[in-house]
Copies of this chain bind each other. A is one copy, B any other.
Amino acid sequence: MPYLYNTPEDQAEMLSAIGAESIDELFKSIPDELRLNRPLDIPRALGELDLEQHLRELAGRNLHASNAVSFLGGGSYDHFVPAAVDTIGSRSEFYTSYTPYQAEVAQGNLQAMFEYQSLITRLTGLDVSNSSLYDGGSATAEAVLMAVDSTRRSGRVVMAESVHPEYRQTVTTYLANLGVEVVTVGTPEGTVDVAELTAEVNDQTACVVLEHPNFFGALEDAETIAQVAHDAGALMIGVFDPISLGLLKRPGDWGADIAVAEGQSLGTPISYGGPVLGILACTDKLIRRLPGRVVGETTDRRGNPCYTLTMQTREQHIRREKSTSNVCTNQALFALRATVYLSLVGPGGLRDVANLCLQKSRYLADQLDSTSRFELVFNAPTFKEFVVRDKEGAVEALVADAAKEGYLAGIPLGGWYPNLADCMLVCVTEKRTKAQMDALVEVLQTGAAKAAADELIQAGI
């Protein structure tokens, strides 16, 4: 075994020091009848070369953002990751260390997490950020728990149907046994009708959950909705797209008390949806309700500035069942990647990325809308995603056919929104080119432009 050091001689010597006859003797506390007296029925061992060939074979049977042209979004985005992000993220000292329990030998991680928290507060316009959660979905659920806890209102949680369906499912799952009602406000026009939502928000409402830009890519009247929530004494939870903040007002600026996001766009690979990065920031008032790890600045014994895990009395290892959350391991490595990403792009780069997404997605939306087969479904302005209807009502087949041509065209919406069964969600990031978009329009109309696609893929355009 390439990772085991003990030779038979070592083992003998060690057993002798222990005073045991055999390794088996070390396991004698496990009763025989509980032992597995056969080898595990799992595949045989592979050397590194065999393993790599096996994994390449598996990987070779997947389409992905490098061998296909992808217009998939829906919370997981093909944004460009600068090489320097990989350089830092693959530093041994970052990825083979653990939670910074010993601050003296973890100042690298701690300072990076402090910088992450600082970047997130600046990004969101809120006062504090934790040092990451699992993903956007569970971060939304944690935010709802914070709201229920801090408002002491366990009556209801109001969510817009335009919030990512899997985030809503996650919230529902988390609340299943806590006696809180989840009310979902429909968004048949693609965005929240403020009056309808207002009708559902009452004095037992812990929070309103809104995504902006929403799952359909559309912009919500977030400012007004936040006012509705606050008027009822509820907290406003805003789910945001970090990239959109290159152009849009920040959640803290439009009234969110808690802002949560999927941070994968900030330098983390898509990786089939995980591991990714849950972002959560909130106002100062909610600081003691924060879930997860938090890093604070302090001074050391010698009076030097330094960083340490702090406010641990919120946490499960001290507070156990009374903790703000059970989160222990988070996604530190991707918080680091986000820190590097945001540092590299800076304000100007973030704005450029956002603007390219806006311009390009608008171009593709217009192109599709001008075909005879497709039409845009909603009127609200969109940021980088939009919903189109296939007038021929064959969206699943269309997507499957496009995949055969090397295009991941969009996400069919029928599974989550039966009324949108003939629709798909299309996303355009800064990586897509005009040539690719024009080719997609062609492919979706003709269903047969394989040659062109191959050329574009190979050309990396």
Residues of A within 8 A of B (CB): 48-49, 52-57, 59-61, 80, 82-83, 87, 90-92, 430-431, 433, 458-461
Contact = CB atoms under 8 A, between A and B. Distances in A.
A48 B82 contact: yes
A51 to B, nearest CB: 10
Contact of A57 (B53, B430, B431, B458): B458
A49 B90 contact: no
A461 B57 contact: yes
A60 B92 contact: no
Complex A-B, nearest 9 residue pairs according to Cβ-Cβ distance, in ascending order: A56-B460, A57-B460, A60-B458, A53-B460, A57-B459, A49-B80, A48-B82, A60-B460, A53-B461
A66 to B, nearest CB: 8
A431 B80 contact: no
Contacts of A83: 48
A53 B65 CA distance: 13
A80 B460 contact: no
Which of A57, A433, A458, A460 is packed against the most chain B CB atoms within 10 Å? A460
Contacts of A461: 53, 57
A90 B87 CA distance: 9
Main secondary structure of the interface of A (DSSP, over half): helix
Contacts of A459: 57, 60
A270 to B, nearest CB: 16
Given A49-B430, A60-B458, A60-B460, 18 more contacts: A48-B80, A48-B82, A48-B83, A49-B80, A49-B431, A52-B80, A53-B433, A53-B460, A53-B461, A54-B460, A55-B460, A56-B460, A57-B458, A57-B460, A57-B461, A61-B458, A87-B92, A91-B92
25 contacts: A48-B80, A48-B82, A48-B83, A49-B80, A49-B430, A49-B431, A52-B80, A52-B460, A53-B433, A53-B460, A53-B461, A54-B460, A55-B460, A56-B460, A57-B458, A57-B459, A57-B460, A57-B461, A59-B460, A60-B458, A60-B459, A60-B460, A61-B458, A87-B92, A91-B92
Nearest to A56: B460
Contacts of A61: 458
Contacts of A59: 460
A430 B49 CA distance: 9
Contacts of A80: 48-49, 52
Contacts of A54: 460
Contacts of A433: 53
Contacts of A91: 92
A433 B49 CA distance: 11
A372 to B, nearest CB: 32
Nearest to A91: B92
Contacts of A57: 458-461
Nearest to A82: B48
A78 to B, nearest CB: 11
Nearest to A87: B92
Contacts of A458: 57, 60-61
